[in-house]
Amino acid sequence: MRSLSIAATGMQAQQTNVEVISNNIANMTTTGFKRQRAEFQDLLYQNMRRVGSNSSDAGTIVPTGIQIGAGVKTAAVYRINEQGNITTTGNSLDLAINGNGFFQVTLPSGQIAYTRAGSFSLNANSQVVTSDGYLLNPGFTLPQNAVDISVDASGQVQAKIDGQVNPAIVGQLTLANFPNAAGLEAIGDNLLLETPASGQPVTAVPGSTGFGRITQNALETSNVNVVTEITNLIQAQRAYEMNSRVVTTTDQMLQSITNMK
Amino acid sequence: MENPIYVALSRQEALSRQLDVVANNIANMNTTGYKQQRMLFQEYLEKPARGERVSFVQDYGLMRDTRAGALQVTNNTLDLALKGDGYFTVETLSGPRYTRAGNFQLNDRREIVDQNGLPVLDTNDNRITVPDGTTDLKIQGDGTVMADRAQLGKLKIVSFDDQQQMQTLGGGLMTTTQTPRPSANPQLTQGAVEASNVQAIVESTVMIDVLRQYQMTQKLVDEEHDRIRNAITHLAKAQ
């Protein structure tokens, strides 16, 4: 009975679906989180009667063949890079990207990671770091006696230094963009890595063509929509139940065979 | 004499294959662009002796329900749903393949590709490359791809004379020997995908039906077995 294994593929696929949805819901309030979606594809087909084959010497052809599918597989779990909402926090080192692009962060290994989560803070050397202490790249160091810091939409960082009239320019932020941002590899901690699928990063100052702008004192919330996720969850659960019904039905059919006299 | 058992067996074999088809429909309940399938049965007449007729059952075909599935809004720029008939054309090494699954992406060369990474073709059979720095990608109802108001090309949306003649390959792809003709009036929706058109309730009832019929046929086999055994014991006694 093929239907047993077909239903098993269906249950596995729906399990993946529930896992993806629960991860979305769990990260509902994670800064810069992008929701994911599981995509399914039908598996191979077995030709029992090939469509279009001849059914007689007179050249008549089979109008509809028999192709029995082998179930379903998870084709992809991809990130939907839709803009999240921007919420103001009042913290001067909270930066939100309004549009495309990623902040670049130097990992302890020296590798560059990419993030949309702009909740930065200062470390002991007055350098700008992520909440895990990784340096922003290109970063900036706040002067000793700076009282205020402002970041404009195009990423220029100015500091108001005590005793000086004009604010001093202390840095310029850049954003990285990818041909296929959905192809980045997530490594947790809101960080993403470049892959062959994502393509090479292109960096530019915020606000240039194709790049987003910076909003200071604000953060980008996750783009998870709870209502959609819950309805997807219900759908996935029902689909799971239906597949388990197929298993039960197949089992009952097998049972009636074993009970054969 | 054993004909009734064989007739029942032909039904049981067909039913077990029908359950495979139902199971595949249910497994693909959430597969983008999937079309539900139905088994077709016919009577197969055998004439073992003069004046005798035994009819077996045969599953002679599988029909794809080509009705459009429900639109599922995703708000993803490269998710496209086709309303009405028509197929997207993708490029493979073995020639064009057709699909209804419009959940496309960009690859590392900024070409529009499907979930298998196969490039989607435009009306001139070229791949569609979205220029670097595009902020606004619009795909119009007729398949015209616009990047920042500049036209990049038009998606090749094709129709076929007989959709039932198309062969499913898995991965949402289909192939056929028929010549595609441009779809007369394609209707595309951006930011949505076409959900599968499997109707859960119908599949459940079909499944129950299959099970009960299978058990009934089983019963028939059992009864027939008893009848033969009775006949043997009684006829042996009569001797």
Please report the number of interchain residue pairs, chain A to chain B, with beta-carbon separation below 8 angstroms.
Answer: 214
B155-193 pLDDT, tens digit each: 999 999 988 888 888 888 999 988 999 988 888 999 899
Residue B238: its pLDDT value, please?
66
Q: How would residue A120 be classed by pLDDT, with cut points 50, 70 and 90?
A: very high
Burial of B181 (0-12, 13-18, 19+ CB in 10 A): exposed
Contact A52/B169, CB-based, under 8 Å? no
Which of A6, A182, A252 is the closest to B20 by Cβ?
A: A6
Min Cα separation A124/chain B (Å)? 38
pLDDT of residue A117: 92
What is the rounded average pLDDT for all residues in chain A? 89
Contact B115 A41 (CB under 8 A): yes
The percent of residues above 70 in pLDDT, for chain B, comes to 98
Return the percentage of chain A with pLDDT > 90, whole number.
53
> Looking at residues A100-129, what average pLDDT do you find?
92
Residue A185: list chain B partners with CB under 8 A.
none
A58: pLDDT strictly greater than 90: no
The predicted pLDDT at position A136 comes to 92
Beta bridge partners of B55: B45
Q: Is B181 on the interface with A (CB under 8 A)?
A: no
**How far is Cα A255 from Cα A196, in angstroms, rounded to an integer?**
51
What's the pLDDT band for A261 if we cut at 50, 70, 90?
A: low
ipTM of the complex: 0.71
A-proximal residues of B, 120-159, CB under 8 Å: 132-135
C-alpha torsion sign, points A197, A200, A205, A207: negative
Shortest distance between the Cα of B96 and any Cα of chain A, in A, equals 18
The distance of B173 to chain A (nearest Cα, Å) reads 9
Q: Considering only A29-38, A44-53, A132-141, A242-251, which range has the smallest mean pLDDT?
A: A44-53
Whole-number pLDDT of residue B1: 55
